[in-house]
Amino acid sequence: MADRILIVEDNEALRVGVRLSLEEAGFAVQEASSGEEAVRKLEIEPCDVVVTDIRLGDLSGVDILKKAKEVNSEIEVILMTAYATVETAVQALRLGAYDYIQKPFDMEHLQHRVRTALRMGRMRGELDFYRKAEYRNALDEGALVAESKGMKEILSVIKKVAPTPATVLITGETGTGKELLSTLIHFGSPRAKGPFIKVNCAALHENLLESELFGHERGAFTGAEKLRIGRFEQADKGTIFLDEIGDMSSTTQAKVLRVLQEQEFERLGSSGRSVKVDVRVVTATNKDLRIEVKEGRFRQDLYYRLNVVNLRIPPLRERMDDILPLARFFLDRYAVDFKKRVSGFSPEAIEKIRRHSWSGNVRELQNAIERAVLLSDEETIGAHNLILEERAEGDAVTAGDTMNLEDLERGAIQRALRATRGVQKEAAQLLGISPRVLNYKIQTLKLDWKTFRHN
In this prediction, residues 138-156 reach a mean pLDDT of: 77
**Is residue 277 predicted with pLDDT exceeding 80?**
yes
In this prediction, residues 371-400 reach a mean pLDDT of: 73
Residue ranges of alpha helices (H) inside 177-299 are: 178-187, 206-214, 231-234, 250-262, 289-294
Higher pLDDT, 89 or 231: 231
pLDDT confidence of residue 400: 41
Residue 51 and residue 78 in contact, taking contact as beta carbons nearer than 8 Å: yes
**Is residue 111 predicted with pLDDT exceeding 80?**
yes
In this prediction, residues 105-133 reach a mean pLDDT of: 71
In this prediction, residues 75-83 reach a mean pLDDT of: 85
**Is residue 131 predicted with pLDDT exceeding 50?**
no
Helix 86-94 crosses helix 61-71 at what angle (to 10 degrees)?
A: 20
Nearest-angstrom CA–CA distance, 371 and 289? 35
Sign of CA dihedral 183, 185, 188, 192: negative
Nearest-angstrom CA–CA distance, 64 and 47? 13
Nearest-angstrom CA–CA distance, 367 and 357? 14
In this prediction, residues 112-135 reach a mean pLDDT of: 65
Q: What is the mean pLDDT of the chain?
A: 84
Higher pLDDT, 424 or 301: 301
What value does the CA radius of gyration of the chain take, rounded to a whole number of Å?
A: 28
Residue 89 and residue 97 in contact, taking contact as beta carbons nearer than 8 Å: yes
Mean pLDDT check: name the lowest of 39-43, 143-147, 370-374.
143-147
pLDDT in tens, 26-53: 999 999 999 999 999 998 888 999 999 9
Q: Is the peptide bond between 347 and the residue preceding it cis, with omega within 30 degrees of 0? A: no
In this prediction, residues 266-272 reach a mean pLDDT of: 86
**Is residue 64 predicted with pLDDT exceeding 80?**
yes
Assign 337 a pLDDT band (cuts: 50, 70, 90).
confident
Higher pLDDT, 386 or 453: 386
Residue 276 and residue 256 in contact, taking contact as beta carbons nearer than 8 Å: no
In this prediction, residues 54-77 reach a mean pLDDT of: 88
Sign of CA dihedral 383, 389, 395, 396: negative
pLDDT confidence of residue 123: 61
pLDDT confidence of residue 18: 95
In this prediction, residues 435-444 reach a mean pLDDT of: 76
Residue 391 and residue 359 in contact, taking contact as beta carbons nearer than 8 Å: yes
Nearest-angstrom CA–CA distance, 269 and 275? 13
Nearest-angstrom CA–CA distance, 147 and 320? 9
| Order of all β-strands in the sheet with 309-312 | 196-200, 238-243, 279-285, 168-171, 309-312
| pTM greater than 0.75 (yes/no) | no
Question: What is the 8-class DSSP label of residue 396?
Answer: P
What structural domains and CATH numbers belong to the chain? 4-127 (3.40.50.2300), 134-312 (3.40.50.300), 320-451 (1.10.8.60)
pLDDT confidence of residue 394: 43
Sign of CA dihedral 294, 298, 304, 307: negative
Mean pLDDT check: name the lowest of 12-16, 116-120, 141-145, 255-259.
141-145
Residue 330 and residue 365 in contact, taking contact as beta carbons nearer than 8 Å: yes
**Is residue 20 predicted with pLDDT exceeding 90?**
yes
